[in-house]
Structure 1
Amino acid sequence: MSTPRRVDPLESLARGNVRSVWEVLEAMSILMRRYTEGLPLNLPQVTVFLRSGREVTGLVREYGEFRQGRGVLLITSGGYGSHGEGRDVTFVPDGVIEALTLHDATVLDTPEKSMPESSPMHLRRHLPAMADKLSSAWGTKVTAEFGTATELETEANIQPLAWLVEHTGEVLTQLASAPDVGDVLRERVRRVRLSVGDAFGARLANGTLDLTTSRRPAAWPLESELARAVMDTLP
């Protein structure tokens, strides 16, 4: 008998087919972790309804096992992005939760306002600058391009590509300075091609390193994920 594939709570949330309170809490906990690791995410609040009839509204700080048992930590005042006083954290055990409302989930579709707005013109200038940076790190000519001629004509692609351009330059420059890895990059990579798709991925073939980012900010690659994906393409 085959073991059923575990449902990815983030994918379930994105596709609107989350099936339980616990999947929502797990997904929001993962999103908060990715936010604290550097992704410019807008995080929706949740309201947790308790069996006692009370309700608690806040941002999911963490969901999992604690000394008090399994449950969720909610930031119930101040709010994410608020650096002032008055931030409370409330622990709610699993056993007292009856239902949950996820408020304004559409905020997940756009990056946080702290991320500067980009534009096709900005990206057309920034991409050659990234290629120059890589060429300096390689010690030889490296070119950079977008996946298709129409990549910048879709408005929904602009911010994902801006994130990918910025962090690809940083990650590849750092990898180029690493022993062994840098030598393989210089030998194998002559062109970097960036695109937007349904999911993040990396592929190296015929001297071209293809990097694809998701349209969804929650699935944009962190620098550690980008570095790992690039290294996984190397022989």
Structure 2
Amino acid sequence: MSTSKPVDPLESLARGPVRSAWEVLEAMSILMRRRDEGLPLNLPQVTVFLRSGREVTGLVREYGEFRQGRGVLLTTSSGYGSRGDALDVTFVPDGVIEALTLHDATVLDTPAKSMPESSPMHLRRHLPAMADRLSSAWGTKVAVELGTPADLEQEAHIQSLAWLVERAGEVLSTMAGPPDVGAALREQVRKVRLFVGDAFGAKLTDGTLDLTTSRRPAAWPLDSELNQAVMDTLS
């Protein structure tokens, strides 16, 4: 049995211990990378207040070490003379940052519009389709079901389940390709159950593979994380 570590870098932000400006910038940089890797994330803007009295507002592109030293790259709206929706990228060194405001952090609670809206009926139709897909890829019958059917009655869980159904179906089908992994899946997994919980994780017990996705889009699993979590349960 194996359970992966939570991946949400902003867990408890504004709900728990106070974070420094640099911790927030690092967390937002991680979220930007996760969005670049495929997660449908809405990211809040930040305003960085400088010791000079100036301020810069934009999206955190990257935070870390650069040739100019440690600092943050912000994607900002272009200034005077710009055309259309052009954007600027501004580098702000750590040493000139005095404070930071994270605007409307609640946008992290909902996926971006790039993810199609799902529904309980949509999920009920896709569970049998996922089972058929896995059975075909593995060459043996596999059942797929919701670990907690009541999740379909909670609107906040629908999109999380939709993401898990889509990505788990893709990842598990692909994993059956290599002969050694495919053999392990056929031998050890007869049922896949899907859950929504506090954090992403996977465990394998008595032929049942339980996959849990977080309620928060920022902690939904990427394909690489799903692959690694399942591989850990098979070892």
Structure 1 residues 166, 11: CA separation in 2 closer, same or farther (over 3 Å shift)? Answer: same
Query: Where in structure 2 are the equivalents of 1:145-224 lying within 5 Å?
Result: 145-224=145-224
Q: Which residue number in structure 2 is paired with residue 121 of structure 1?
A: 121
2:68 is equivalent to residue 68 of structure 1: yes
Q: Aligned partners of 1:16, 1:159: CA distance in 2, in Å?
A: 25
Q: Aligned partners of 2:62, 2:18: CA distance in 1, in Å?
A: 18
**What is the Cα deviation at residue 95 of structure 1?**
0.2
Could you give the per-residue CA deviations for residues 193-212 of structure 1, whole angstroms, max 9, x where no partner exists? 00100000000011100000
Unaligned 5+ runs, structure 2:
1-7, 79-83
Unaligned 5+ runs, structure 1:
1-7, 79-83
Q: Aligned partners of 2:102, 2:17: CA distance in 1, in Å?
A: 13
Q: Aligned partners of 1:9, 1:208: CA distance in 2, in Å?
A: 29
Q: Aligned partners of 1:17, 1:108: CA distance in 2, in Å?
A: 18
Contact 1:9 1:18 in 2 (8 A): no
Q: Which residue number in structure 1 is paired with residue 20 of structure 2?
A: 20
2:27 is equivalent to residue 34 of structure 1: no
Contact 2:44 2:103 in 1 (8 A): yes
Q: Which residue number in structure 2 is paired with residue 91 of structure 1?
A: 91
Contact 2:123 2:162 in 1 (8 A): yes
Could you give the per-residue CA deviations for residues 14-50 of structure 1, whole angstroms, max 9, x where no partner exists? 7443421011101100000000000000000000000
Q: Aligned partners of 1:90, 1:205: CA distance in 2, in Å?
A: 50
Q: Aligned partners of 1:42, 1:119: CA distance in 2, in Å?
A: 20
Secondary structure of 1:57's aligned partner? strand
Contact 1:164 1:194 in 2 (8 A): yes
Report the aligned-residue RMSD: 1.4
Secondary structure of 1:48's aligned partner? strand
Secondary structure of 2:179's aligned partner? coil
Q: Aligned partners of 1:19, 1:159: CA distance in 2, in Å?
A: 29
What is the aligned-residue identity percentage? 83
Q: Which residue number in structure 2 is paired with residue 10 of structure 1?
A: 10
Q: Aligned partners of 1:21, 1:92: CA distance in 2, in Å?
A: 13
Q: Which residue number in structure 1 is paired with residue 58 of structure 2?
A: 58
Structure 1 residues 9, 46: CA separation in 2 closer, same or farther (over 3 Å shift)? Answer: same
Q: Aligned partners of 1:143, 1:214: CA distance in 2, in Å?
A: 22
Q: Which moved more, 1:177-186 or 1:10-19?
A: 10-19
Q: Aligned partners of 1:14, 1:172: CA distance in 2, in Å?
A: 36
Q: Aligned partners of 2:9, 2:134: CA distance in 1, in Å?
A: 36
Structure 1 residues 14, 133: CA separation in 2 closer, same or farther (over 3 Å shift)? Answer: farther
**What is the Cα deviation at residue 9 of structure 1?**
4.3
Contact 1:13 1:27 in 2 (8 A): no
One-letter amino acid of the structure 1 residue matched with residue 144 of structure 2 = A
Q: Aligned partners of 1:9, 1:118: CA distance in 2, in Å?
A: 26
**What is the Cα deviation at residue 85 of structure 1?**
5.5
Q: Which moved more, 1:12-21 or 1:218-227?
A: 12-21
Contact 1:201 1:229 in 2 (8 A): yes
One-letter amino acid of the structure 2 residue matched with residue 29 of structure 1 = S
One-letter amino acid of the structure 2 residue matched with residue 35 of structure 1 = R
One-letter amino acid of the structure 2 residue matched with residue 98 of structure 1 = E
**Runs of 4+ with deviation above 6 angstroms:** none
**What is the Cα deviation at residue 216 of structure 1?**
0.2
Relative contact order higher in (CA < 8 Å, ≥ 6 apart): 2
Contact 2:143 2:190 in 1 (8 A): yes
Contact 2:50 2:98 in 1 (8 A): yes
